[in-house]
């Protein structure tokens, strides 16, 4: 599926800043913007970078067509000089970033956007809207995947969020460790494996539960998953095995005391000879509910609402800040570090930054090191930022499965306490080194 123009996925002040900078003669100054977060959501121990691939699509498709320019003209948002500049807009700079699926911590320079002030400032809102949403979902997904262990997770939150956000959420959940999605648009757009069988409505449609089960098995085969909690669970399980035979693929439980019901259903299935039939549980699960079912005979979890809302933290609180700029429009002019200095915890560190992860003697991550200037030799092989865009050309696209595998590896490389669900501080401290301009 093609991505439509993203040029108006922005705030008006991006365009008014552009107009003022064009008039002042500062628009073409070489600039460096960085995306980072000052803090993780309360109690979280690591963040997950997700949405990078969508950011690349958004940057590539950030261009103004005649209708959009006409809207800006009609609303008198910017002047004709600015409209003429926007008509030819193409991002021609460079973007570096943590690769998708990598983990991050407060102060990590997750994305670095370099180019003229004019072309970089326009991208702030669309980049943040993607990274903040997708990273929040991926972080929740990662915690749920840790709690689930080897048991697969099914993303099924499409009906609990905006229809387009649902597709992005399914993508981010896959990066964070989910195995499948119920959302067909996500499967179509991103190649994520899709699953789904029936809802309670299908059972209620038929005169008898047996009729519904028979219709489903006749159509989808005995390996299907039958929903067994519309009426009486024990009776439904008995009927399901009678209809599908001991080769029944799975039963799904969507209500009640899941721990108790799962044990009873497992015992009943085994007594009926359906020892290979799996148990799937749903019903407003989050990472804590999943962890509480660790000792239950559950084979897979379906998660919706809590996933697509970030399990209580629907944003990653990332910001996009100017950290360095040239004093003239000369392409060779050196960069000067700049930073916001204010009260209320909103200060930032100036300078064009690199980031590396230091390991302990056992090869486990022990610190996130962020600096400007030369990279210490001992960290040269541990740098985190990779080139994503070069001279306006996308160079960092990769299959979504690569990001998913990267996250599994990155999470495994963290201290063991990273996967604890109890509230705690970030598992890695961020150390700052060489805080000077990296012209």
Whether the per-residue pLDDT at 192 is higher than 80: the answer is yes
**What is the pLDDT at residue 265?**
98
Q: Are 160 and 305 in contact (CB under 8 A)?
A: yes
Flag whether pLDDT at 438 surpasses 90: no
In terms of domains, do 230 and 264 share one? yes
Q: What is the pLDDT of residues 403-422, one digit of tens each?
A: 999 999 999 999 999 999 98
Q: Is residue 275 part of a domain?
A: yes
Report the number of distinct structural domains present in the chain.
Answer: 2
Q: Is the pLDDT of residue 437 over 60?
A: no
Q: Domain range spanning residue 333?
A: 12-137+313-433
User: Exposed e or buried b for every residue in 346-371, given b needs 16+ CB within 10 A?
Assistant: eebbbbbbbbbbeeeeeeebbbbbbb
Residue 163 has pLDDT above 50, yes or no: yes
Q: Do 320 and 292 belong together in one domain?
A: no
Are residues 280 and 225 in contact, defined by beta-carbon separation less than 8 angstroms? yes
Of 275, 298, 321, which closes a domain? 298
d(CA 157, CA 305): 6
Does residue 439 form part of some domain?
no
Mention every residue, 6+ apart, whose C-beta is less than 8 A from residue 316. 37, 41, 47, 131, 132, 135, 136, 139
- Residue 105, pLDDT > 90, answer yes
Q: What's 223's domain CATH number? A: 3.20.20.70
Rg of the chain over Cα atoms, rounded to whole angstroms, equals 25
Residues 224 and 323 in one domain: no
93 and 128 together in one domain: yes
Examine the domain organization and report whether 345 and 242 are in the same domain: no
- Report d(CA 316, CA 319) in Å as an integer: 9
All residues at 6 or more sequence positions from 84 whose CB lies less than 8 Å from its CB, including other chains: none
Question: Residue by residue, what is the 3-state secondary structure of the chain?
Answer: CCCCCCCCCCCHHHHHHHHHHHHHCCCCCEEEEEEEECCCCCCCCCEECCCHHHHHHHHHCCCCCHHHHHHHHHCCCCCHHHHHHHHCCCCCCEEEECCCCCEECCCCCCEEEEEEHHHHHCCHHHHHHHHHHHHHHHHHHHHHHHHHCCCCEEECCHHHCCHHHHHHHHHHHHHHCCCEECCHHHHHHHCCCECCCCCHHHHHHCCCHHHHHHHHHHHHCCCCEEECCCCCHHHHHHHHHHHHCCCCCEEEECCCCHHHHHHHHHHHHHHCCCCCCEEEECCCCCHHHHHHCCCCCCCEEEECHHHHCHHHCCCCCEEEEEEEEECCCCCCCCEEECCCCCCCCCCCCCCCEEEEEEECCCCCEEEEEEEECCCCHHHHHHECCEEEEECCEECCCCCHHHHHHHHHHHHHCCCHHHHCCCCCCCCCEEEEECCCCCC
Give the model's confidence band at 348: pLDDT under 50 very low, under 70 low, under 90 confident, else very high: confident
Q: Are residues 276 and 323 in the same domain?
A: no
Co-location of 332 and 357 in the same domain: yes
**Given a cut of 50, is residue 435 above it in pLDDT?**
no
**What CATH number has the domain bearing residue 31?**
3.20.140.10
Q: Which of 252, 269, 298 is the last residue of a domain?
A: 298
Tell which phi-psi region holds residue 300, choosing left (phi > 0), alpha (psi between -120 and 50) or beta: beta
List CB contacts of 133: < 8 A, sequence separation 6 or more: 51, 165, 168, 169, 172, 314, 315
Give residue-wise pLDDT tens across range 354-375.
Answer: 999 999 999 999 999 999 989 9
Bridge partners (DSSP) listed for residue 272: none
Q: What is the pLDDT of residue 341?
A: 81
- Per-residue pLDDT of 65-85, as tens digits, reads 999 999 999 999 999 999 999
Answer yes or no: is pLDDT of 2 > 90.
no
Same domain, 293 and 320: no
Question: Taking residues 118-128, what's their average pLDDT?
Answer: 98
Distance CA 220, CA 237 (A): 18
Q: Please tell me whether residues 22 and 129 are part of one structural domain.
A: yes
Q: How confident is the model at residue 439 (pLDDT cuts 50, 70, 90)?
A: very low
Beta strands 393-394 and 386-390 are antiparallel
Question: Pick from 178, 105, 170, 110: which is nearest to 141 by CA?
Answer: 178
pLDDT for position 434: 59
Same domain, 337 and 428: yes
Q: Give the end of a domain, one of 256, 273, 298.
A: 298
Q: What is the mean pLDDT of residues 430-439?
A: 64
Considering the domain boundaries, does residue 168 fall inside one? no
Q: Does 248 map to a domain?
A: yes
Average pLDDT (272-282) is: 98
* Three-point CA angle 307, 159, 167, nearest 5°: 65
- How many residues does the structure list for the chain? 439
């Amino acid at each position: 599926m093609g991505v439509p123009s993203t040029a108006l996925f922005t705030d008006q002040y991006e365009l008014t800043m552009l107009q003022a900078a064009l008039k002042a003669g500062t628009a073409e100054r070489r600039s460096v913007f960085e995306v980072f977060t000052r803090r993780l959501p309360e109690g979280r121990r690591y963040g997950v970078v997700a949405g990078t691939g969508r950011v690349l699509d958004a940057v590539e498709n950030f261009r103004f067509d005649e209708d959009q320019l006409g809207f800006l003209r009609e609303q008198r948002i910017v002047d004709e000089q600015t409209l003429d500049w926007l008509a030819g807009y193409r991002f021609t700079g460079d973007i570096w970033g943590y690769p998708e699926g990598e983990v991050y911590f407060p102060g990590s320079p997750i994305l670095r956007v370099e180019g003229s002030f004019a072309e970089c400032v326009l991208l702030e809102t669309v980049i943040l809207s993607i990274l903040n949403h997708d990273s929040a979902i991926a972080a929740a997904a990662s915690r749920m995947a840790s709690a689930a262990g080897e048991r697969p997770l099914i993303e099924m939150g499409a009906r609990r969020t905006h229809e387009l956000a649902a597709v992005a959420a399914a993508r981010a959940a896959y990066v964070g460790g989910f195995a499948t999605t119920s959302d067909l648009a996500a499967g179509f757009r991103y190649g994520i494996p899709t699953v789904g069988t029936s809802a309670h409505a299908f059972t209620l449609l038929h005169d008898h539960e047996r009729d519904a089960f028979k219709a489903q098995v006749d159509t989808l085969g005995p390996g299907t998953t039958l929903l067994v909690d519309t009426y009486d669970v024990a009776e439904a399980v008995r009927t399901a095995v009678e209809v599908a035979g001991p080769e029944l693929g799975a039963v799904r439980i969507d209500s009640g005391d899941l721990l108790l019901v799962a044990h009873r259903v497992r015992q009943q299935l085994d007594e009926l000879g359906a020892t290979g039939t799996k148990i799937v549980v749903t019903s407003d699960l989050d990472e804590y509910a999943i962890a509480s079912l660790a000792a239950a005979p559950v084979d897979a979890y379906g998660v919706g609402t809590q996933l697509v809302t970030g399990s209580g933290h629907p944003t990653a609180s990332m910001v996009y800040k100017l950290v360095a700029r040239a004093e003239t429009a000369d392409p060779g002019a050196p960069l000067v570090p700049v930073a916001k200095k204010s009260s209320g915890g909103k200060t930032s560190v100036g300078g064009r930054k690199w980031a590396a992860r230091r390991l302990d003697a056992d090869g486990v991550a022990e610190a996130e090191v962020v600096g400007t200037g030369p990279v210490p030799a001992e960290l040269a092989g541990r740098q985190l930022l990779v080139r994503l865009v070069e001279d306006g050309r996308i160079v960092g696209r990769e299959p979504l499965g690569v990001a998913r595998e990267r996250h599994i590896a990155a999470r495994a490389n963290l201290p063991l306490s990273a996967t604890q669900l109890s509230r705690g501080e970030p598992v890695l401290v961020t150390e700052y080194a060489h805080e000077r301009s990296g012209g």
